[in-house]
Amino acid sequence: MAVIEVKKLHKIYKTGEVEVHAVRGIDLQIEQGEFTAIVGPSGSGKTTLLNLIGGLDEPTEGRVIIDGTDITQLKDNQLIDFRLWNIGFVFQAYNLIPVLTAKENIEFIMHLQGKNKEERERRALELLQEVGLADRANSRPSQLSGGQQQRIAVARALASKPKFVLADEPTANLDSVATTNLLELMEQLNREENMTFVFATHDSRVIEKAHRIIRIEDGQVVNDEKVK
Amino acid sequence: MILSIAWKNIWRNKVRSLILIGTIAFALAGTIFIIGMMDGWMKDRNIKVIETELAHIQIHNPDFVSNLSLRDTISSGQKIISQIMKMDFTMAVNGRIKVMAMVSSSYSSQGALVIGIDPDRKHEVTKVYKYLSDSTSKWLDQVKRQNVVIIGRKMAKDLQMVNYMITDASLSTLADMGLPLSIISKLDSLQGKKFHTTTRFYNALEKLLTEKELDQYADLIANSCHSYKLGRKIIIRMQDINGNVVEEAFRIIGVYDTDNDLFDGMYLFVKKPYLAGLLGLSHGTINEIAIITNDQRKVEEYKATLKQKFPGLLIESIFDMDPTMRIMTSLIWIYYAIFEAFILFALSFGIVNTMLMAVMERTKELGMLMAIGMNRRRVFSMIMNESVLLTLTGGIIGIILGYLLVLYTGHAGINLSKYAQQGMEAMGYSAVIYPHASPLLLAETTVLVVITGMLAAVYPAIKALKLKPAQALHTDV
Ligand SMILES: Nc1ncnc2c1ncn2[C@@H]1O[C@H](COP(=O)(O)OP(=O)(O)OP(=O)(O)O)[C@@H](O)[C@H]1O
Ligand SMILES: [Mg+2]
């Protein structure tokens, strides 16, 4: 069974009289362990699609089934809880709570899950090790570079042990070295822990690393191919 | 963790938070101080009224109150007293003789209430001896002689039992109290002259000062250079038990001052056995019983117990005798709470504003938090915590500052006599205020501060909850 299953998905934004048909009937399956890029020109609907998959937005039509659960049927509060336990998020920016240290940021999501202090600390340190920032555990986000912040965000996304990680333009604010580093980190996590990653991007350096590339234009899938 | 995040969030915009904390602290320090002043004032009056005049509970023959006749005594009064003495709530109980009289000096005469009390201060409920005006005044138990009387400051003045003499010392006291030098130099010519009546002294002042100066300073000057004519005699005229007029000269051995003109101008204190003899009352006869209980707030309860036990007698609590006491004891807390509520209401606008700004500028962060799985209850509680912590920080600082101010001034006293001695004492309030803040007031204030912080957070928190994570994350701030 696919971990993400999208069926006849539509999203129409209404602003006053104007209707924007951002997603027009997308069908999609993503299997456990995939390393998938959603690519396409600006305004093509990448963010919209990712938000729908992540339960951050409601579709106008169609279904999003995550690991057998139709999340379009969930109530608001159930959806928040579902995200907490099942989906990891890495955003382009504003991923971290500025008043908490790197380690505390990773712990925070486990705190929301009700994990005890001991477990939280152990896993946070483990993840800091994995993303190569063990020495920055006590730094605040403002004391970290953009690339380091995104690594912490990846660690935070993994901390909740999600079924997959959604990343919307995670490298948009990074230079090429940091971009390569972050991509290598995600790829390594995908390889070693079989973690599923789905990321939206139009950065060619990122696209190169993807194992599957889903190209969308005008809210529709125009190409879908396995490259590795 | 949410609490610690909330606390750290407060300090993200230090200046803004400090301004709000400062405002709250300042307003609350002032509030505590003003309430402390009022409370000190009330407490002072409350204690005085209890100690000098009313005690907690008084018992009379029901007929006494309407007739004020000596015949309406409390029958077997001593037996009743010893029964009351045995009751759990009784701290002190005492029988008195109260009788209407005319008093006269060689200058004037007036009506008065003569109270015959136990000369021994240890046995007496009435604590007027605490209010003796100065060290030359004596109490009834310091004098062997029987026909002696303690009168009030107001009556001493009315009966012209006061001498006035301006001296170097009194002038320098006046200068210390802020009397303008121009007036002090005008008073110089009166130095060393002794005036035997209030009228003559005021006449002399009138010649020296303008009308405005007189209005403002005459009482202050008079108070600083007067002395009582202790040892002089006044005549007290009363009706005895048989309706015959008895007249007796009493030597003034002391003058008391409770800052209450109504009381000080009316009540005389004499030795009970001697008074009983004069009036032809048999030994141990009394027409008033005064009781001090262990808890003023439970006085009504105690009154009911006494009523059940002594059904034939008129039993009145301090609240019956002086209705303002009820206000001061129980209702005053409501008044204080309303006063504080107004201040806090005004402050809440600032809190709402600050919290609203805090929420708005964190739109993206809140969107992120909701996206990763922070539920509404937690978001709400984070903002609530932030608001309460912010408010409480200011509140606690303000309460501590206000309390320190109350402690300091409560010790030193605030002297308002320069502005309004006459008016306040005519109403029964002291012109010197010793602010006082009870733990209850501080606790009440803290609770109100927390409630304010919570209420002020509701609107900003609702704003935060309305955010949709997808949009919030893409909002430009
Ligand atoms: N909240 C919204 N309200 C109205 N229209 C929206 C909203 N969000 C997105 N759109 C529109 O939907 C379409 C798809 O937008 P989307 O953000 O998904 O594109 P994108 O592929 O992520 O673009 P980019 O590469 O620039 O991030 C665009 O035309 C956009 O203007
Ligand atoms: Mg986008």
Atom 6 in ligand 1: which residue has the minimum CA distance?
A: A13
Interface probe for A, chosen from B4, B372, B466, B474 (most Cβ of A below 10 Å), is: B372
Mean pLDDT over residues B6-18, rounded? 94
Give percent above pLDDT 90 in chain A.
Answer: 92
Minimum CA–CA partner of B7 in chain A: A99
**pTM value?**
0.78
Atom 4 in ligand 1: which residue has the minimum CA distance?
A: A13
Per-residue pLDDT, B190? 83
Atom 7 in ligand 1: which residue has the minimum CA distance?
A: A13
- CATH number for position A218: 3.40.50.300
pLDDT tens for each residue of B203-221: 888 888 888 888 888 887 8
Per-residue pLDDT, A85? 97
Structure tokens at B205: 């002042």
Contact A83 B373 (CB under 8 A): yes
Structure tokens at B123: 């046995």
Asked if residues B428 and B45 have their Cβ atoms less than 8 Å apart, the reply is yes
Mean pLDDT over residues B327-336, rounded? 80
Ligand nearest to the CA of A41: 1
Q: Is A46 in the pocket of ligand 1 (CB under 6 A)?
A: yes
Q: Which of A91, A104, A107 sits opposite B368 (nearest CB)?
A: A91
In this predicted structure, the answer to whether residue B353 has a pLDDT above a threshold of 70 is yes
Mean pLDDT over residues B235-255, rounded? 93
Q: How far is the CA of B379 from the centre of ligand 1 (A)?
A: 27
- Concatenated DSSP letters for A60-81? SEEEEEETTEEGGGS-HHHHHH
Contacts of B383 in chain A (CB under 8 A): none
Report the 10 Å Cβ neighbour count for B462. Answer: 12
Q: ∠ CA(A150), CA(A153), CA(A157), 5° rounding? A: 140
Query: Is the dihedral angle over the CA atoms B226, B227, B233, B234 positive or is it negative?
Result: positive
In this predicted structure, the answer to whether residue B12 has a pLDDT above a threshold of 70 is yes
Residues belonging to chain A with any Cβ–Cβ distance to chain B shorter than 8 Å: 47, 51, 54, 56-57, 76-77, 80-81, 83-85, 89, 91, 93-95, 97-100, 104, 107-109, 111-113, 156, 160
Query: Is the dihedral angle over the CA atoms B62, B63, B65, B70 positive or is it negative?
Result: negative
Mean pLDDT over residues B88-111, rounded? 91
Q: How far is the CA of A43 from the centre of ligand 1 (A)?
A: 5
Contact B365 A89 (CB under 8 A): no
Least confident of A6-20, B175-189, B402-416: B175-189
Helix axes B332-360, B376-412, angle to 10 degrees: 130
| Separation of alpha carbons B423 and B450, rounded Å | 39
Contact A156 B364 (CB under 8 A): no
Q: How far is the CA of A56 from the centre of ligand 2 (A)?
A: 14
pLDDT tens for each residue of A86-113: 999 999 988 999 999 999 999 999 999 9
Extended strands (E) in B218-304: 226-228, 233-239, 245-256, 267-271, 288-293
Mean pLDDT over residues B105-126, rounded? 89
- Shortest distance, CA B461 to any CA of chain A (angstroms): 17
Asked if residues B137 and B255 have their Cβ atoms less than 8 Å apart, the reply is yes
Q: Which residues 6+ apart lie within 8 Å of B410 measured at CB?
A: B36, B40, B434, B435, B436, B437
Q: Is A204 in the pocket of ligand 1 (CB under 6 A)?
A: no
Atom 30 in ligand 1: which residue has the minimum CA distance?
A: A43
In this predicted structure, the answer to whether residue B380 has a pLDDT above a threshold of 90 is yes
Q: Which of B12, B374, B473 sits opposite A99 (nearest CB)?
A: B12
* Residue numbers of the domain that contains A104: 4-226
Least confident of A47-61, A154-168, B307-321: B307-321
Query: How would residue B27 be classed by pLDDT, with cut points 50, 70 and 90?
Result: very high
Q: ipTM surpassing 0.85, yes or no?
A: yes
Atom 29 in ligand 1: which residue has the minimum CA distance?
A: A43
Per-residue pLDDT, B71? 83
In this predicted structure, the answer to whether residue A75 has a pLDDT above a threshold of 90 is yes
Per-residue pLDDT, B171? 83
- Shortest distance, CA A210 to any CA of chain B (angstroms): 24
Cα B290 versus chain centre, distance: 21
Mean pLDDT over residues A20-46, rounded? 95
Per-residue pLDDT, B167? 85
Per-residue pLDDT, A228? 79
Q: Which of B1, B371, B468 sits opposite A83 (nearest CB)?
A: B371
**Total number of domains constituting chain A:** 1
Per-residue pLDDT, B405? 95
Q: How far is the CA of A20 from the centre of ligand 1 (A)?
A: 9
| Separation of alpha carbons A26 and A18, rounded Å | 22
- Concatenated DSSP letters for B160-203? T-EEEE--HHHHHHHHHTT--HHHHHHHGGGTT-EESSHHHHHH
Q: Which of B11, B367, B375 sits opposite A80 (nearest CB)?
A: B375
Nearest-atom index, ligand 1, CA of A44: 21
Interface probe for B, chosen from A83, A87, A169 (most Cβ of B below 10 Å), is: A83
Token look-up 């901390």 returns A159
Q: Is A20 in the pocket of ligand 1 (CB under 6 A)?
A: yes
Residue B102, SS3 per DSSP: strand
Minimum CA–CA partner of A92 in chain B: B473
- Shortest distance, CA B19 to any CA of chain A (angstroms): 21
pLDDT tens for each residue of A162-200: 999 999 999 998 999 999 999 999 999 999 999 999 999
The ranges assigned to domains in chain B are 2-47+329-473, 62-160+229-312, 162-228
Contacts of B364 in chain A (CB under 8 A): 93-94
In this predicted structure, the answer to whether residue B35 has a pLDDT above a threshold of 80 is yes
In this predicted structure, the answer to whether residue B411 has a pLDDT above a threshold of 90 is no
Q: Is A196 in the pocket of ligand 1 (CB under 6 A)?
A: no
Query: How would residue B182 be classed by pLDDT, with cut points 50, 70 and 90?
Result: confident
Strand-pairing partners, residue B235, are B104, B249
In this predicted structure, the answer to whether residue B422 has a pLDDT above a threshold of 70 is no
Query: How would residue B31 be classed by pLDDT, with cut points 50, 70 and 90?
Result: very high
Q: Which of B12, B373, B474 sits opposite A84 (nearest CB)?
A: B373
Q: Is A45 in the pocket of ligand 1 (CB under 6 A)?
A: yes
Per-residue pLDDT, A142? 95
Backbone angles phi, psi at B186, to 5 degrees: -65, -35
Contact B470 A51 (CB under 8 A): yes
Q: Is A44 in the pocket of ligand 1 (CB under 6 A)?
A: yes
Query: How would residue B342 be classed by pLDDT, with cut points 50, 70 and 90?
Result: very high
In this predicted structure, the answer to whether residue B476 has a pLDDT above a threshold of 60 is no
Mean pLDDT over residues B406-431, rounded? 73
